[in-house]
Structure 1
Amino acid sequence: MSNTSWEYVPTPHFERTPLRLLAPIRAPDSSAKRRNLPSPPYPPTTPPQNVPYVVTTHVIPAALPRASPNVPLPTAASQATTKDQRREANAKTFEEISKTWRKRVSGELGNEGSEKEMVNVVNRYVHRDILEAGTSKHPRGRGVTLMFAHANGFPKEIWEPTIQRLLASSQTAEIVDEVWVWEAVQHGDSYLLNAAALDGVFSWHDNARDITNFLLHYLPSMPGGTLPTHLDAVSSSESTQRHTRGFNHRTFVVTGHSYGGCSSAFAALTFPALFDAIIFVDPVIVMPGRYKSTDDKYANALVRGAISRRDEWASREEAFNSFQSSPFFKVWHPSVVRTYCDRGIHHPAGEKGPAKLKMPGVQEAIVFVDTTTPTEVFQLLPMLDKRIELRWVMPGRVDNSEIGGPGHGNILCWRRPENSSNVRISKAGHLITQEAPHELADEIDAFLGRKYGSSSGNVTQARL
């Protein structure tokens, strides 16, 4: 079955809800010594020989202050041993998470943000030619920098099957200088470094603010060259310039899936000068009325599922076998299942000890419970700078259950109709990155070629 697209439909009437804009981010203190940041817990994956990029892993401070106050984590269910005890403990955890979020929405928790210091772990792919030259080899010095932002519940490496196919394309390799792969504070390796600082409430605002913090203060001025593990902040003057003029030596494009798509949109709404294009992969951006701000039935099911899911096995291979036998994973591409097992699991007690997911279910649940930010972004989306081209990559599988209900995806793709297009991947549901990584890579490759390839004149004629 071939891929299709949605024709334009206007946004129907909806009742608007209160909006919160992203809170300001404190700039790094240039007079202070760099914080003693932790090192990445695992090295990056070496890409295949047909991918002309080198991968490194880096750590940056997360934004401060946080958007939410200090709130204790829900009561742990570690003492539950029987099935009935686990069911009771999971129900209690659900009620704690839901009650805390209701307090967050009502303002009962107050407006003072936490000052807990956290970090984000990012992977950088740099073209070998750029690495050796120390700068972009594009004639105007503004080759494309890509960024990938993941869905809730998955580590940054979930993108690897997509990225490896994309970067093996000679067309993309001519266009893209660098790729940065984002990881939110409670996911993957970031979780392993932040576990002691994470709270019992989380707003998606903070993922958008952390992305913005990286782009304004820590993304190096130019692509290429060898970078330290702990990235230095750019100068305050350069950061100030980025607020209004964007990057001098980068053409920045972000690809965001689900939670990562919503977060990327909010960052672009707040600092549009940073962005040249956004590739949305079924982002969780929802029309008010389709989501309730609290006690939403669809979100509650996700929260309950995250709390109750298994997150520990006797070994990595036992986990892999468990994934392969699960209906949830059977629709995934085999390479993504393998990647999730290899990069989404760790051994806290050593390689011969139990295998655990890098992100506990309770943290995934705490992220899922925020149904407010997606509706805020939906309302703001028409205000996104029309200069920023939007490409929507959406589910096309006939049995897909649309986020926001039937017809919502079509409405969303045309919420900001100018400079926008869409495609539906016929074999994929919401988890496009997991189910159709090669088709997704090919769509990104085609978009980059059309917009930035040799015939476009937008970035480069060819790699010199």
Structure 2
Amino acid sequence: MQLLIDSFLLTGKPERGSIQYAYKRYRNPYANLPKDQRTTSGVALLLIHCINTHKETWEPTIESLFELQSSANGGNNGNIVEVWSMDSPNHGYAAYLNEEVLFTRPEIVNWSTYSDGLKMIMKSGLISGDHVIGVGHSAGATCVVLSLDGCPLDRIPYSSLILVEPPMLSRPLLEKMLSSSDGTNLLHMVIKAVLKRKDVWSSREEARQFFAKRYPWKKWDPRVLDFFIDYGLRDLPTATYPDRQEGVTLACPREQEAATYTLYEGGVRSLELLSVYCPVVPVHCIIGGRPDLISDETRAAIWDVNEGRRMASIATVEGAGHMVAQESPHGTADAIWNIVNSKQAVLSAKREMRTHNWNHDT
């Protein structure tokens, strides 16, 4: 299926570094019909990627979603009007746009600046459809929940949330992990691995051969890996390597990626917010059937009904691990499609709530 793809840029507030936010909008080919022959009635999805990927990592999943919709022949409850995807400010094309501010003020990117991008696109008036479902993978799940911080319970802009492999931690679990030795501290292990990772290659082809042989990339769907080579890398020179004139490097520098893993307070705060918003908006979870990163203990804390965190549904993509959207785009799309067509997918969050001031400071 040949999707219709449009790119958009929005600029954040000067006091927050005038961060550039990069988005793509995906539509079914039917959307190219004359206005009187197409509909804007239905659902828009807003997808947020995980750390060390980019907004295009969702494209195989998006293609599968529209294929599922086309094959439903009208027998479905939900109509996906369009799908949006956003780069984290220090990932993908956005990392190129924000290179100067990221290099001189690396601390500028935090959960607030990430969530600002969601609030801006939601309030921009650019999104069609009666309802918006926020979909976040891993750190993206944390981000989409944090974008609600301060939002009145009767003015929630999302009709529902879909959290894919959410990494949120309760305070006791975070303290337990931080107090463990380096050999068992998952955060420390990940950060060390990131900082030591090779990050310069002579060409994209050499980089592809490198990643195709190594975990976790070797488990990815080949299409997702191709997108990573195209959008997760950038040509030299860069601010990190100003003297290298040939070859490619990571779009998100190693230091930026490592710093993102230290923003664990956002995971704690997002879990607290879930207790507030779960009773008033459907929150769905999608997990991988291979628990290779998020422990059962962490998942149990996320789904703790005694803390008010009752999930509307929990779906498992069999055979996939934490990088479920990268390993199984079709399985991820199938899970999202089932949620979109569930009775709990769409509540009363209408278009006017997206442009309402959420009492946020964006």
Letter in structure 2 aligned against 1:280: L
The CA distance in 2 between the partners of 1:345 and 1:194, in whole Å, is 15
Q: Contact (CA 8 Å) 2:281, 2:347: kept in 1 or not?
A: no
Quick check: which has more Rg, 1 or 2? 1
Q: Secondary structure at the match of 1:163?
A: helix
Letter in structure 2 aligned against 1:364: E
Q: Contact (CA 8 Å) 2:52, 2:232: kept in 1 or not?
A: no
Q: Which residue of 1 aligns with 2:275?
A: 382
**For 1:151-208, what per-residue CA distance to the aligned partner results, in whole angstroms no more than 9, with x for missing partners?**
1111111111111111122148971111110111100100001010112324223212
**For 1:317-355, what per-residue CA distance to the aligned partner results, in whole angstroms no more than 9, with x for missing partners?**
1001111111332222222222211221222369x9302
Are 1:165 and 2:64 matched, yes or no? Answer: yes
Given candidates 298, 303, 322, the residue that maps to 2:186 is 298
Which runs of 5 or more residues in structure 2 are unaligned?
239-244, 350-362
Q: Secondary structure at the match of 1:285?
A: coil
Letter in structure 1 aligned against 2:20: V
Q: Secondary structure at the match of 1:428?
A: coil
RMSD (CA atoms):
2.9
Deviation at 1:411, TM superposition (A): 3.0
Letter in structure 1 aligned against 2:189: A
Q: Which residue of 1 aligns with 2:88?
A: 184
Q: Which residue of 2 aligns with 1:124?
A: 25
Q: Which residue of 1 aligns with 2:287?
A: 394
Q: Contact (CA 8 Å) 2:162, 2:283: kept in 1 or not?
A: yes
The CA distance in 2 between the partners of 1:288 and 1:158, in whole Å, is 31
The CA distance in 1 between the partners of 2:136 and 2:50, in whole Å, is 8
Q: Contact (CA 8 Å) 1:254, 1:278: kept in 2 or not?
A: yes
Which runs of 5 or more residues in structure 1 are unaligned?
1-47, 67-115, 224-248, 460-464
The CA distance in 2 between the partners of 1:136 and 1:452, in whole Å, is 29
Q: Which residue of 1 aligns with 2:242?
A: none
The CA distance in 2 between the partners of 1:417 and 1:376, in whole Å, is 13
Deviation at 1:270, TM superposition (A): 3.4
Are 1:209 and 2:92 matched, yes or no? Answer: no
Q: Which residue of 1 aligns with 2:106?
A: 200
The CA distance in 1 between the partners of 2:271 and 2:329, in whole Å, is 26
Q: Contact (CA 8 Å) 1:414, 1:420: kept in 2 or not?
A: no
Q: Contact (CA 8 Å) 1:391, 1:420: kept in 2 or not?
A: yes
The 1:174–1:59 alpha-carbon spacing in structure 2 relative to 1, beyond 3 Å, is same
Are 1:335 and 2:223 matched, yes or no? Answer: yes
Runs of 4+ in 1 over 6 A off after TM superposition: 293-296, 456-459
Identity among equivalent pairs (%): 21
Are 1:354 and 2:247 matched, yes or no? Answer: yes
Deviation at 1:134, TM superposition (A): 4.2
The CA distance in 1 between the partners of 2:7 and 2:77, in whole Å, is 20
The CA distance in 1 between the partners of 2:191 and 2:80, in whole Å, is 37
Q: Contact (CA 8 Å) 1:413, 1:421: kept in 2 or not?
A: no
Q: Which residue of 2 aligns with 1:287?
A: 170
Q: Which residue of 1 aligns with 2:146?
A: 266
Higher helix share: 2
Q: Which residue of 2 aligns with 1:450?
A: 342
Letter in structure 1 aligned against 2:62: I
The CA distance in 2 between the partners of 1:146 and 1:135, in whole Å, is 23
The CA distance in 1 between the partners of 2:276 and 2:211, in whole Å, is 42
Letter in structure 2 aligned against 1:433: A
TM-score (norm 1): 0.64
Letter in structure 1 aligned against 2:303: C
Are 1:55 and 2:5 matched, yes or no? Answer: yes
Q: Contact (CA 8 Å) 1:167, 1:173: kept in 2 or not?
A: no
Given candidates 410, 416, 423, the residue that maps to 2:300 is 410
Q: Secondary structure at the match of 1:60?
A: strand
Q: Secondary structure at the match of 2:192?
A: helix
Q: Secondary structure at the match of 1:178?
A: strand
The 1:130–1:401 alpha-carbon spacing in structure 2 relative to 1, beyond 3 Å, is closer
Q: Secondary structure at the match of 1:168?
A: helix
Report how many residues are paired: 325
